[in-house]
Structure 1
Amino acid sequence: MWGIVGEQDNIVEDGIELDDEFLGEFHHSVDAKGRLVLPSDHRSLIGKETIHMTLGFDNIMTIHPPADWVKIRASVGEMRRGDRSQRRTARALFSNASKQTLDKQGRITIPPNLREKCGLTKEVVVVGMGEFIEVWPQDRWESEQGEANDLYVNTDETTGMGSL
């Protein structure tokens, strides 16, 4: 539910101010120990909270703060356990998940199996997606970004995004 709060007219959804969102594209490196420094804008939103990282759609790593992870868990809880496809989705999500907090340098350690599955070797791109973060191998991001931008600017279909 959208609403207006405070004197500054900050729009909130589910108690989260819209200023509290992950935005932007940041080029970083994964070090030899599998650690990734998150962008300072993102670190300030995460703070000392526990984050969850997992294998996301398009075979990339996703990072979720607690509020987003709660929504994901609720969605999985609503899946039909008798549906093989839905069970497999839940297995992929949870078997590749890891809980962490940022270290003093603002780093997270990406588990080796997740680095391998997502192709995260050295150069990566951290992409803000509003409620969560995506981490792409740089070469794949360049390809994806080109295709996504082309689709976005050249679409003649309704996007479902209001006045965009």
Structure 2
Amino acid sequence: MFRGLHTINLDAKGRLAIPTKYREPLSTLCGARLVATIDTEERCLLVYPINEWEVIQAKIEALPSFNPAARRIQRLLIGHATDLELDGSGRVLLPPSLREYAELDKEIVLVGQGKKLELWSKSMWEGRRDEYLDMVSQSDQLPEELMSISL
């Protein structure tokens, strides 16, 4: 459902306008209800339609809480999960704690990832994207699954 890259401005209150092309599908799919949480590998946010998030949360909750690594993931992902709702103008308000984690300021990038979106600061995204491109051009060891995809 989500693909492409969108540069968006965050307003002074911490609101971002969801691209128009996503508003209707989100309204139909999940009643315009989203969940944002931190990415534990990158300084960005993960944004899910609530129905997608509920599946992931159930899997995270099912992890053994006596396993320290599983407990950390539970604390980080579920602990930071925040309900968001599109307002009448198609905007969502990001809480300060999530904006601080991802270092989001005025210019942000929304990156479609199929069933979810990622929110990045523009400068962090551009730096990371360039690193990824360097890794791809230097790597001759792509996963076998990628070798069967024809572009």
In structure 2, runs of 5+ residues without a counterpart are: none
Partner of 1:107: 91
- Cα-Cα RMSD: 1.6
Query: For residues 44-98 of structure 1, what are the alpha-carbon distances to aligned partners after superposition, in whole Å with 9 as ceiling and x for unaligned?
Result: 3211331101111302111101332123113202311101121111111122111
* Distance change in 2, residues 1:24/1:153 (3 Å): farther
3-state secondary structure, aligned to 1:124: strand
In structure 1, runs of 5+ residues without a counterpart are: 1-20
Does residue 94 (structure 1) correspond to residue 78 (structure 2)? The answer is yes
3-state secondary structure, aligned to 1:31: coil
Please give the alpha-carbon distance, in whole angstroms, between the structure 2 residues aligned to 1:77 and 1:35: 30
Partner of 2:44: 60
Partner of 1:142: 126
Query: For residues 103-124 of structure 1, what are the alpha-carbon distances to aligned partners after superposition, in whole Å with 9 as ceiling and x for unaligned?
Result: 1111000001111111011110
The answer as to whether partners of 2:111 and 2:117 remain within 8 angstroms in 1 is yes
3-state secondary structure, aligned to 1:23: coil
In the alignment, which of 42, 49, 59 is matched to residue 22 of structure 2?
42
* Higher relative helix content: 2
In the alignment, which of 52, 59, 62 is matched to residue 78 of structure 1?
62
The percent of aligned pairs where both chains have the same amino acid is: 30
Alpha-carbon shift at residue 154 of structure 1 (Å): 4.6
Alpha-carbon shift at residue 146 of structure 1 (Å): 1.0
Query: For residues 97-145 of structure 1, what are the alpha-carbon distances to aligned partners after superposition, in whole Å with 9 as ceiling and x for unaligned?
Result: 1112201111000001111111011110000011100000010000111
Alignment: residue pair count: 144
Q: TM-score, normalised by structure 1?
A: 0.80
